[in-house]
Amino acid sequence: MLRLGLDVGSTTIKCVVLDENDNIIYKDYKRHYSHIKDNIIEKLTELKDKNIIGEEVMLAISGSAGMGMAEGAHIPFVQEVYATRIAANKLIPGTDCIIELGGEDAKILFLTDGMEVRMNGSCAGGTGAFIDQMATLLNVDITEINGLAMNHQKLYSIASRCGVFAKSDIQPLLNQGASKSDIAASIFYAVVNQTIGGLAQGREIEGKVAYLGGPLTFLSELKEAFDKTLNTTGICPENSLYYVSLGAAFCAKEAIKVDVALKNLVEFSNKATYAYNSPLFASQEEYDEFIKRHDKDRVETLPLDNYTGKLYLGIDSGSTTLKFVLIDEDGNIRFESYQPNKGNPVSVIKDIFTSLYEKYPNMKIAASASTGYGEDLAKNAFKLDGGLVETMAHYMAAKKFMPNVDFIIDIGGQDIKCFKIEHNTISNIFLNEACSSGCGSFLQTFANALGYNISDFAKLGLMAKKPVDLGSRCTVFMNSSVKQAQKDGATIDNISAGLSISVVKNALYKVIRATNKESLGEHIVVQGGTFLNKAVLRAFERELDLEVVCPNIAGLMGAYGAALYAKSLNIRNTTTITHEELLSFKHDVRNLQCQGCNNHCLLTINTFANNPNKFVSGNKCEKPLGIKASFKGKNIYEYNREVLSSLKPKENAKRGKIAIPLVLNMYELLPFFHTFFTELDFEVVNSGFSNEKLYSKGQHTIPSDTVCYPAKLVHGHIEKLIDEGNKTIFYPCQSYNIDEGLGDNHYNCPIVAYYPQNIENNVGKIKDVTFIDDFIALDDKEMFKVKMKLILDKYFKKLKISKKEINDATNKAYDAYNTYLANIRSLADEYIKEAREKGAEIIVLAGRPYHQDPQVNHGIDKLISGMGAYVVSEESISHLTKKFKVGVLNQWTYHSRLYSAAKYCTHEDDMNLVQLVSFGCGVDAVTTDECKAILEAKGKIYTQIKIDEITNLGAVKIRLRSLFEALKQERMKK
């Protein structure tokens, strides 16, 4: 009898029919667009009608979306991992590891020494759906992205664990003219990093490796990326798409009547398991009143034909869209364009200019300005008169509608930006740095998945009677909720309304983290294309129980604000590109690696024919831009790194060689331990600063994807030291720091204190060297001497290191540490004095010692000093404040420094704190809230920057420029 296997996955249905000899006589692969039951019924009916199967067949179902259907229709179900293993053992025997990527699922199956399974649970980053999203962002078909990747020349660092992170990395590259080929290849390597780092979790992938699933079957460059990263040659077997369905077929033992199965499927219906929200509008009259009220907040759009007055141009080059606005002297819009940027904003802007000049040859652009992610590129390419940070552009536009506005929320395609305004100054900024589930692309994705355009999909929810309560969760979880609601019989209109409500909840409670409506303000302007969706606007007002202003140009507010700014420049002669210049316009892009410092940034150089301007992107400092030194501030982080780099190994040391990884607390303690072991006549080397290559080197031994990035880097440092031939590595566990008297205790955080044990348990190569990870403490000098004597006798007994030698080395080590800190603090005093003499901004870039690592902070310290500010660190000023009471348990040394630095800033009008926050740090939520409370209690602006493997420097620049603009306004008022 024939055997039939169905693999019902998250996005597709795969079907195979086997004959009595297990040969495939039929196979099919198709997307189900969430209409799972209908597609299974259609497939079984087709197979029966075409006589591919008879009245009976041995049938089994597998797949992530198949269990409920199988149980409800009384069809045997085979767990998909088991099905994969059965197929692999039969068809590719001897396989040690299987890597399978599906639409929303990713799995690594280790088959050696019993089966171990690693699967994605909370995120679809690095799967087929992720690659689909990235192809859409590149404005190419999914089939084209592989061809693009074949021609790449270099790779960029792109996050893959979440689509919003990846978009945040890719969009600035597109806006800055980076090659699509390079981005396509970088996307594939990001998928590899996500799969290995997120799923392997420290277990090495070795032996015979097989690749399964659609992405690895159709995308040869993705397979090549896995091969290069794993240093292997994996196989993608024949019928790799169908291994789960083949496994299900192999397991099918029970003959099932096809007509009975079809009848059961038709009658199958799950019991509803979801809750309801109340309707957005109770009646048509209520809706009509809502529309009438919001129609009052509008800018008139007048014809450009025959208009001979001055025009002011505003361009908002955003993350996914391009907005282009011309306004007249009275602020009326004379021309507008809102369209996707197609991954190439320069080309889109050029086409708009060309069309305008050809259609309106007599138009007079008096001034121009740009804003958004692509602000600098647009400004340089088309010789615009000015540019402003997008927060200020949106604020200028909002004031046009509500002069006393005190809160602005802008929800765009993938970005949420919120601005708190106090005393006519932007006092706080909120950005969605971790999730896009409250954005327009969130709704767009679901609309497309359900077969609707976004406009029609939004209208469906307006009069829905029972909006589904989908909560406020990430897109992956929401996707599962939507599918479950569909299975349970929820209608599309109720799903649409529920998703609009979820967008609002995500924005309010995840990005803004509002506790009550009073925390936002009484005069709120909402803007961004997402608020053109009346369902979202209604949900927002209802959630806050407040009427807000939503201009009729909500999607154009950035460009409109830029146009108002251009008008305010009062320029006599604009430099804006003319029609004649446009005719010879040409945009060239080339890439090179900067050799100006050890960062070796991958630069993208944009040049324009007949235009002296050029635009350089990819830089982590201002050096490649040719900015004169007189315009730069000074940076104590650079001094710290210079000190660490100056610690050279002793020549002709007689007692051997000791290697120290430059990680975590060693960024502060290296002067101590380098001096200690050098005095004992050891040659002391360290692993140097981190880089992307080093991170990749140790990625395969990282056991947790959620630990903070600085801790993940430790693995690469250890691997580097071992590969360089070092036989002794010193990396001790340290529960305590030196007591600085700032807190209730002086602990290291558990990750910093005990990560050496993690290394010992997860880095296989560590057994080949002498790894000294014993417990020590520096808070008790005499006890340190005793403990180090025991440790040195344990590992270097033959060297006979005397107690006196250890005592002398200890004293000099403490002197070196104290001198190191004293020098930092003395230099900070000099920087602060010099900044005050020059009237420059003073920024306390506060974090932890390892935030000095250029790979950890992504050059943010250099960005700030490049903007003309003087940068000092938290430890350089924390001693200037005495211990004080805080609102949290103050027991961590590094955190005590943060609180003290924040407190000190409240007493200095010209000093402001910017806090670096590591994703994955479990206590950072506490430290950020406390630092924020300390600063805001005294009217100081609190600014935080979240950093991780990948950090969106475009968003960082927006935040910093907004801060500097706010500080400038504060000074002007004083």
Can you tell me the distance from the alpha carbon of 338 to that of 323, in angstroms, rounded to the nearest whole number? 5
- Comparing 311-325, 433-447, 576-590, 736-750, which segment has the lowest mean pLDDT? 433-447
Question: For residue range 392-432, what is the model confidence (pLDDT) as tens digits?
Answer: 899 999 999 999 998 998 887 667 778 888 767 777 777 66
pTM, to two decimals = 0.73
Q: How confident is the model at residue 1 (pLDDT cuts 50, 70, 90)?
A: confident
3-state class (DSSP) for residue 747: strand
For 173, list phi and psi in degrees, rounded to 5: -65, -45
Pick the closest to residue 932 from 871, 862, 846 (CA basis): 846
DSSP 48: H
Residues 6+ positions from 735 with CB-CB distance below 8 Å: 747, 748, 753, 754, 775, 777
Residue 312 has pLDDT above 70, yes or no: yes
Q: Where do runs of H (alpha helix) occur along 92-153? A: 128-137, 142-150
Task: Find the mean pLDDT for residues 693-706.
Answer: 81
Residue 107 has a pLDDT of 87
Q: Cα 877–879–885 angle (5° rounding)? A: 110
Pick the closest to residue 694 from 725, 662, 716, 711 (CA basis): 716
3-state class (DSSP) for residue 677: helix
Q: Mapped to the 3 state alphabet, what secondary structure does 699-744 carry?
A: HHHCCCCCCCHHHHHHHHHHHHHHHCCCCEEECCECCECCCCCCCC
Can you tell me the distance from the alpha carbon of 183 to that of 177, in angstroms, rounded to the nearest whole number? 11
Q: How confident is the model at residue 630 (pLDDT cuts 50, 70, 90)?
A: very low
Residues 6+ positions from 967 with CB-CB distance below 8 Å: 841, 912, 941
How big is the chain, counted in residues?
974
Q: Cα 563–569–571 angle (5° rounding)? A: 110
Angle, in degrees to the nearest 10, between helices 636-645 and 666-679: 30
Token pair 């200028």 in the structure block, residue:
396
CB atoms within 10 A of CB 119: 14
Q: Cα 311–317–322 angle (5° rounding)? A: 80
Ordered strands of the 911-918 beta sheet: 870-873, 842-846, 911-918, 943-947
For 365, list phi and psi in degrees, rounded to 5: -80, 115
Mean pLDDT, the chain, whole residue set: 85
Q: Does domain 3-176+183-267 have CATH number 2.40.50.100?
A: no
Residue 940 has pLDDT above 60, yes or no: yes
Can you tell me the distance from the alpha carbon of 418 to that of 381, in angstroms, rounded to the nearest whole number? 29
Q: Do domains 3-176+183-267 and 828-973 have the same CATH topology?
A: no
Can you tell me the distance from the alpha carbon of 939 to that of 425, in angstroms, rounded to the nearest whole number? 12
Structure tokens at 792: 């040195």
Can you tell me the distance from the alpha carbon of 175 to that of 180, in angstroms, rounded to the nearest whole number? 11
Domain 409-548 carries which CATH code? 3.30.420.40
Can you tell me the distance from the alpha carbon of 666 to that of 858, in angstroms, rounded to the nearest whole number? 19
Structure tokens at 543: 């959630």
What pairs with residue 256 in β-bridges?
57
Question: For residue range 721-775, what is the model confidence (pLDDT) as tens digits?
Answer: 999 999 999 999 999 999 999 989 999 888 899 999 999 998 889 999 999 999 9
Q: Where do runs of H (alpha helix) occur along 507-618? A: 534-544, 557-568, 579-583
Question: For residue range 99-146, what is the model confidence (pLDDT) as tens digits?
Answer: 998 877 788 999 888 888 887 765 666 777 778 878 877 888 888 999
3-state helix, strand, coil in the chain (%, to 5): 45, 20, 35
Residue 924 has a pLDDT of 67
Residue 487 has a pLDDT of 61
Question: For residue range 807-860, what is the model confidence (pLDDT) as tens digits?
Answer: 999 999 999 999 999 999 999 999 999 999 998 999 999 999 999 999 998 889
In 208-294 the beta strands, taken as DSSP E runs, fall at 209-212, 255-257, 275-276
Residues 6+ positions from 926 with CB-CB distance below 8 Å: 888, 895
3-state class (DSSP) for residue 59: strand
- Calculate the CA dihedral of residues 281, 287, 289, 291 and round it to 10 degrees: 130
Q: Are 603 and 618 in contact (CB under 8 A)?
A: yes
In 328-469 the beta strands, taken as DSSP E runs, fall at 333-340, 364-371, 386-387, 407-411, 416-422, 425-431, 468-469
Can you tell me the distance from the alpha carbon of 84 to that of 110, in angstroms, rounded to the nearest whole number? 12
- Calculate the CA dihedral of residues 716, 717, 721, 727 and round it to 10 degrees: -100
Domain made up of 310-402+561-573: CATH architecture = 2-Layer Sandwich (3.30)
Can you tell me the distance from the alpha carbon of 860 to that of 856, in angstroms, rounded to the nearest whole number? 9
Q: How confident is the model at residue 522 (pLDDT cuts 50, 70, 90)?
A: confident
Residues 6+ positions from 97 with CB-CB distance below 8 Å: 108, 109, 110, 111, 112, 205, 206, 207, 208, 209, 210
Q: Are 672 and 815 in contact (CB under 8 A)?
A: no
Residue 68 has a pLDDT of 77
Residue 455 has a pLDDT of 81
Residue 628 has pLDDT above 50, yes or no: no
In 794-952 the beta strands, taken as DSSP E runs, fall at 842-846, 870-873, 911-918, 943-947
For the chain, domain boundaries: 3-176+183-267, 310-402+561-573, 409-548, 638-821, 828-973
Handedness of CA 206, 212, 213, 214 (dihedral sign): positive
- Comparing 146-160, 608-622, 844-858, which segment has the lowest mean pLDDT? 608-622
Q: Are 665 and 748 in contact (CB under 8 A)?
A: yes
Residue 626 has a pLDDT of 47
Q: How confident is the model at residue 598 (pLDDT cuts 50, 70, 90)?
A: low
Q: Are 371 and 393 in contact (CB under 8 A)?
A: yes
Can you tell me the distance from the alpha carbon of 143 to that of 533, in angstroms, rounded to the nearest whole number? 32
Can you tell me the distance from the alpha carbon of 528 to that of 530, in angstroms, rounded to the nearest whole number? 5
Domain 828-973 carries which CATH code? 3.40.50.11900
Residue 432 has a pLDDT of 61
Residues 6+ positions from 510 with CB-CB distance below 8 Å: 432, 435, 437, 438, 472
| Strand pairing category for 842-846 and 870-873 | parallel
3-state class (DSSP) for residue 902: helix
- Is residue 759 exposed (0-12), middle (13-18) or buried (19+ Cβ within 10 Å)? buried
Task: Find the mean pLDDT for residues 198-216.
Answer: 85
Task: Find the mean pLDDT for residues 695-701.
Answer: 83
In 736-779 the beta strands, taken as DSSP E runs, fall at 770-772
| Strand pairing category for 56-62 and 97-101 | unpaired
Q: Are 720 and 694 in contact (CB under 8 A)?
A: yes
Handedness of CA 324, 361, 565, 560 (dihedral sign): negative
